[in-house]
């Protein structure tokens, strides 16, 4: 693609939104992250200022942040609800109730507050606040069991700290004051255990300590939709070694950027599959098969991220997903550690694009249908490819996936990224591109039809509007959508 065709006045739409009010997330990006890093671009900084700016940036990369003024009120709401609830004794039920309270409150934070959203440190501060309240309840002879169980649930669901990453380790050593939420929850439980074990205040914790979290207990399974861009990952877990007692599942969508659109626990793989098929619709696959380790690592990639990139949300995630925000990462990291897929994920990042020559193959196909076509078809196809899906495809089938949502999003991104004349040319070629992809993937006609129709609708709209006015599908399509 020639640089002159890129519209310099437009920035390609990315799924970069920060947590919080969707209408304000652009403001959040500038307000929360830019101030600390802006000094790095100033050429005349004094050495002391440059060093301070670099240290501020390193602090952010290490996971540090200042507490927002509204954190304490949100923490009090969680503790207040925890005190009023009847807590179960089963570990899976404790996890579920903790997700309802903690994840539910975080979702409320996103809707109520414009800034200050930091997933890890908000959770760490909640653990500290709960620990302080728990020790006070024990010392005063009050009802301490609900707070104990809440902390235990947090220890079961908080993502485990990253291990083995030299950069993360170095950053943590540089800033020892930055505490991890999982380690904090465990430490607060240990402090409470000391009080409960004293002769003056002998008490029996409602659940076993130390914390024994869920562990992978079998072969992970994957299902895929007919388009090739929607996946179900289901893995067995158990609280006793190698004894599965439930399944955890992730619904992964790669139509635009690779993202988890739903997650949760199930009694069986079949139950997870049935729920996923109902959510995906007629294109959903019917069979689960053993997961390829490389594919598994790539699908779970969003849950394995650490640092600032792991904190980014679109701002329109439903409550059901934010409820699982912490637990889905905890389970993904446990699965990656048990199967060695973390190393596979790092290796896969270096792979070249599997469809690097697709624009030339498409040109050959196109010219057989349109012998008198003008030159430049391959270059125009390259523009489509740049906006087509998440970038580096998981495999060949995923590259050719042409779901209606991917087609509509591609038209929007092209219109948002290129000069009007060039964007119009690419969007008018999109119906042929979509049909070619459908043929390459062997997509049934009844599923290819709505995708080709979406491409034609985008092309037809050019007669009534500028290419840059292609609608953004994310504004009208549910976060977890059917095709």
Q: How far apart are CA 423 and CA 148, in angstroms?
A: 58
39 pLDDT higher than 80: no
**Neighbour count for residue 111 (Cβ, 10 Å):** 12
Q: How far apart are CA 254 and CA 188, in angstroms?
A: 39
Q: What is the pLDDT of residue 36?
A: 37
If you average pLDDT over residues 331-351, what whole number do you get?
65
109 pLDDT higher than 90: yes
481 pLDDT higher than 70: yes
Mapped onto helix, strand or coil, the DSSP state of residue 191 is: helix
pTM exceeds 0.75 for this model = yes
If you average pLDDT over residues 291-301, what whole number do you get?
92
Averaged pLDDT of the chain: 85
Q: What is the pLDDT of residue 207?
A: 82
Mapped onto helix, strand or coil, the DSSP state of residue 425 is: helix
Q: What is the pLDDT of residue 199?
A: 73
pLDDT per position as a tens digit, 130-162: 999 999 999 998 999 999 999 999 999 999 887
If you average pLDDT over residues 181-205, what whole number do you get?
86
% pLDDT > 70, the chain: 81
Strand ranges, E, within 215-311 = 215-216, 221-224, 230-238, 246-253, 259-266, 289-290
Segments making up each domain of the chain, as ranges: 3-9+20-61, 71-201, 215-348, 358-475
Q: What is the pLDDT of residue 69?
A: 94
Q: How far apart are CA 20 and CA 345, in angstroms?
A: 29
Q: What is the pLDDT of residue 105?
A: 98
pLDDT per position as a tens digit, 313-340: 888 899 999 999 999 999 999 999 887 7
Tell me which range, 27-36, 170-179, 227-236, is most confidently predicted by mean pLDDT: 227-236
pLDDT per position as a tens digit, 200-214: 666 778 887 777 789
Contact by Cβ (8 Å): 74, 104: no
Buried b / exposed e over 85-98, threshold 16 CB at 10 Å, is eebbeebbebbbbb
Buried b / exposed e over 241-274, threshold 16 CB at 10 Å, is eeebebbbbbbbbbbbebbbbbbbbbeebeebbe
Q: How far apart are CA 419 and CA 8, in angstroms?
A: 8
């Amino acid at each position: 693609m020639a640089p002159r065709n890129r519209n310099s006045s437009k920035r390609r739409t990315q799924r970069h939104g920060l947590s919080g009010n969707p209408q304000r997330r652009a403001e959040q990006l500038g307000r929360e992250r830019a101030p600390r890093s802006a000094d790095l671009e100033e050429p005349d900084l004094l050495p002391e200022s440059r060093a301070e700016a670099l240290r501020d940036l390193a602090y952010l990369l290490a996971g540090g942040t200042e507490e927002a003024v509204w954190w304490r009120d949100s923490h009090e709401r969680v503790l207040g609800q925890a005190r009023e609830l009847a807590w179960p004794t089963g570990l899976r039920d404790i996890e579920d109730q903790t997700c309802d309270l903690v994840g539910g409150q975080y979702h409320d934070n996103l809707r109520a507050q414009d800034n200050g959203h930091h997933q890890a440190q908000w959770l760490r501060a909640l653990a500290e606040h709960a620990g302080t309240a728990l020790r006070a309840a024990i010392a005063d002879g009050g009802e301490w069991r609900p707070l104990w169980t809440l902390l235990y649930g947090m220890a079961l669901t908080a993502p485990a700290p990253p291990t083995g990453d030299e950069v993360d380790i170095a950053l943590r050593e540089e800033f020892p004051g930055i505490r991890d939420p999982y380690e904090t929850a465990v430490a607060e439980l240990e402090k409470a255990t000391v009080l409960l074990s004293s002769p003056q205040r002998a008490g029996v914790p409602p659940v076993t300590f130390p914390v024994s979290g869920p562990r992978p207990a079998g072969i992970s399974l994957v299902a895929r939709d007919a388009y090739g861009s929607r996946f179900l990952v289901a893995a067995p877990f158990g609280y006793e070694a190698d004894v599965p007692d439930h399944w955890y599942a992730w619904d992964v969508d790669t139509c635009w950027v690779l993202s988890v659109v739903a997650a949760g626990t199930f009694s069986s793989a079949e139950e997870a599959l049935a729920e996923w098929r109902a959510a995906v619709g007629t294109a959903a696959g019917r069979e689960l098969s053993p997961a390829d380790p490389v594919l598994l690592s790539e699908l779970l990639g969003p849950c394995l991220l650490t640092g600032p990139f792991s904190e980014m949300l679109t701002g329109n995630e439903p409550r059901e997903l934010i409820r699982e925000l912490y637990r889905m990462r905890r389970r993904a990291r446990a699965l990656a550690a048990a199967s060695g897929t973390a190393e596979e994920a790092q290796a896969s990042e270096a792979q070249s694009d599997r469809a690097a020559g697709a624009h030339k193959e498409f040109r050959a196909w196109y010219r057989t249908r349109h012998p008198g076509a003008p030159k430049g078809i391959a270059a125009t196809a390259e523009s489509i490819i740049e906006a087509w899906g998440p970038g580096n495809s998981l495999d060949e089938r995923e590259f050719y996936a042409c779901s209606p949502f991917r087609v509509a999003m591609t038209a929007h991104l092209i219109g948002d990224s290129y000069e009007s004349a060039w964007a119009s040319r690419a969007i008018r070629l999109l119906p042929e591109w979509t049909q070619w992809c459908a043929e390459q993937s062997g997509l049934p006609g009844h599923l290819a039809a709505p995708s080709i129709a979406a491409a034609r609708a985008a092309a037809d709209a050019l007669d009534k509007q500028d290419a840059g006015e292609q609608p953004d599908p994310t504004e009208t399509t549910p976060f977890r959508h059917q095709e």
